[in-house]
Amino acid sequence: MVKKQKDLKSMDESVKYHSPTYARRYMTEPIPKFELPEQSVPGPVAYRLIHDELELDGRPSQNLATFCTTWMEPEVDQLIQQGLHYNLADEDEYPHVIRIQERCVNILANLFHAPVDVDGGAVGTATIGSSEAIMLAGLAMKWNWRKRRRAGGLPEDKPNLVMGANVQVCWKKFARYFDVEGKYIPLEPGRYVVTPQQVADAVDENTIGVCAVLGSTFTGEFEPVKAINDILQEVNERNGWDVPVHVDGASGGFVAPFLYPDNEWDFRVPLVRSVNVSGHKYGLCYPGIGWVVWRKKSVLPEELVFHVNYLGGDMETFNLNFSRPASGVLGQYYNFLRLGREGYTNVVKALKHNSDFIREQLMATGQFEILSDDHSLPLVAWAVRQDDPYTAFDLSHKLREKGWIVPAYTMPENAESVTCLRVVIREGMSREVAEDLVDDIIRATAELNESAPKQKAGHVPEKANRLIC
């Protein structure tokens, strides 16, 4: 987030300096918070100050709002530590790190059924999460569209991208940062993903691509990639266009292959040209790793790939960042080796059992309008009904009293009258924890039904709709 500079002149002295707890034992002088300290301090002072402040934050393991991994095996800590010393941008110096990255891309390309015999097979890269992956995939779509327009002598000043209003904010960033019109297909109460017909109606000659989300951030639902492909193929054929599909598999890319192997959403589907996936969500790695894979080399425009030689040798680079630690890639490769298909399947099946349990228990009360279906991400999203005497935000606050972090949010444009809550099931949740959670949700709801006055319709507290991803 963009942070503002503080005015130190008007600031109270007590706020300017760290107020230490255990670090006080080692400190001799006050240490400023907003200015570079004039003097050095011993390592234990700096360590304790930062460590003790972090202790005040929520416990990541109790965070039911996030998709991000909060626990990895201890062995991987050593690799992550080791990876901090390796710059992923430096192919010449660290060829083995680069080979490991390449193996990860291969593993994903195979997992996503990329045909190896077409144009040399798939290509891809590690990224800092799905957001960077989506910027790169979006740029490739824009460049390919422009090339086609230019070749046909057609105007190339109005590119657009078709997607549901349920896309994660990174797609809105892509559209704005890279000057592409975002054509957001509206949702409506009761429907929170796009329909193939809506996609077909929205595309035109200026459409650089269609984004289909495999695992909506809002409800966990999968968009119908195969059906979108089928209708889009007809539209393309009829008009002589070549509108491709990008699958945003930020979460679903590591869920569908193991839970729903028959769902054809990946490179088995002809128009799917690229896929992104977050290693740090169901890829079970700590934050900071994502991936983008293109079906074949020819759909990644050469102009976007830079060659540099100032680190020695000729290096290709297609990333928004240059230098970054190799830790994420090493952590991901560790998980691939350690878990294999069997391990990933066991993990996501266990998550699904818990999400099914929570969903069924909440449904059985007849009090909740469940939005996530039983073929979606392992999460439970439910809407607070119009006639409930409490809001989703009331319930979220009430659950905080028991330590649960359950976000309340409004649905995107056109369905914003619907407010929901979402519980993301991650590996740290045992059946006992799931049972406690259900009990607490039911108890909190009963208490609110008794006591809470409904807030004014349409009132959304500050900070609402901040879905943590």
Ligand X SMILES: Cc1ncc(COP(=O)(O)O)c(C=O)c1O
Considering only 1-9, 246-254, 256-264, 357-365, which stretch makes contact with ligand X by CB under 6 A?
246-254
What would the x/- binding string for ligand X be over residues 143 to 172, using CB under 6 A?
-------------------------x-x--
Strands (E) located in 216-263: 245-248
Report in angstroms the alpha-carbon separations of 121 from 25, 45, 59, 267, 299: 60, 53, 43, 11, 11
Q: 251 vs 332, which CB is nearer to ligand X?
A: 251
Does residue number 285 form part of the binding site for ligand X (CB under 6 A)?
no
> 63, 101, 130, 445: which one contacts ligand X (CB under 6 A)?
130
Site string for ligand X, 53-92 (x = CB under 6 A): --------------x-------------------------
- Which residue's CB atom is positioned nearest to ligand X? 469
Least spacing, CB of residue 373 vs ligand X, in Å: 16
Alpha-carbon gap, residue 317 to 362, rounded angstroms: 49
When asked if residue 217 is in the footprint of ligand X (CB under 6 A), the reply is yes
Q: Does the footprint of ligand X cover residue 419 (CB under 6 A)?
A: no
Q: For ligand X, which stretch binds (CB under 6 A), given 73-81, 116-124, 243-251, 264-272?
A: 243-251
DSSP class of residue 63 equals B
Min dist CB 294 to ligand X, Å, is 17
Q: Is 331 in the site for ligand X (CB under 6 A)?
A: no
- What's the token pair of residue 31? 């240490």
Closest CA to 142 of 201, 199, 198, 206: 206
- Residue count at the site for ligand X (CB under 6 A)? 15
The 10 Å CB-count burial string (b at 16+, else e) for 230-248 is: ebbeebeeeeebebbbbbb
What is the per-residue burial (b if ≥16 Cβ within 10 Å, else e) of 406-437?
Answer: bbbbbbbeebbebbbbbbbbbbebeeebbeeb
What minimum distance in Å lies between the beta carbon of 193 and ligand X?
Answer: 11
Query: Residue 107 Cβ, how far from ligand X at the closest point, in Å?
Result: 18
Residue 22: phi, psi to the nearest 5? Answer: -70, -25
Q: Considering beta carbons, is residue 160 or 217 the nearer one to ligand X? A: 217
Query: 45 vs 80, which CB is nearer to ligand X?
Result: 80
Structure tokens at 411: 């649905």
Question: Rounded to the nearest whole angstrom, what is the least distance from the CB of residue 141 to ligand X in the complex?
Answer: 16
| Of 185 and 444, CB closest to ligand X | 185
- As measured in angstroms, the least distance from the Cβ of 133 to ligand X is 8
Length of the chain: 469
Closer by beta carbon to ligand X, 196 or else 220: 220
Rounded Cα distance between 388 and 454, Å, is 8
Tell me how crowded residue 312 is: count the other CB atoms within 10 A of its CB. Answer: 11
**Does 213 interact with ligand X (rule: CB under 6 A)?**
yes
Q: Residue 121 in contact with residue 299, Cβ under 8 Å?
A: no
By the rule CB under 6 A, 131 interacts with ligand X: yes
Calpha distance 405→396 (Å, rounded): 7
Binding mask 252-281 for ligand X (x = CB under 6 A): --------------------------x---
- How many Cβ atoms from other residues are within 10 Å of residue 69's Cβ? 23
By CB atoms closer than 10 A (0-12, 13-18, 19+), residue 86 is buried
Phi, psi of 181 (to 5 degrees): -70, 125
Question: What is the DSSP secondary structure assignment for residue 103, as one 8-state letter?
Answer: H
Site residues for ligand X, window 174-193 (CB under 6 A)?
A: none
Q: How far is the CB of 467 from ligand X (least distance, A)?
A: 7
Interface with ligand X, residue 392, by CB under 6 A: no
Q: Minimum distance from CB of 66 to ligand X (Å)? A: 8
> Residue 229 and residue 215: Cα distance in Å, rounded?
17
Among 90, 221, 223, 248, which residue interacts with ligand X (rule: CB under 6 A)?
A: 248
- Closer to ligand X by CB, 31 or 162: give it: 162
**Using CB under 6 A, which of the segments 4-12, 100-108, 128-136, 349-357 binds ligand X?**
128-136
Signed CA dihedral, 55, 58, 62, 66: sign only: negative
Q: Which residues bind ligand X (CB under 6 A)?
A: 67, 129-131, 168, 170, 213, 215, 217, 248, 250-251, 278, 290, 469
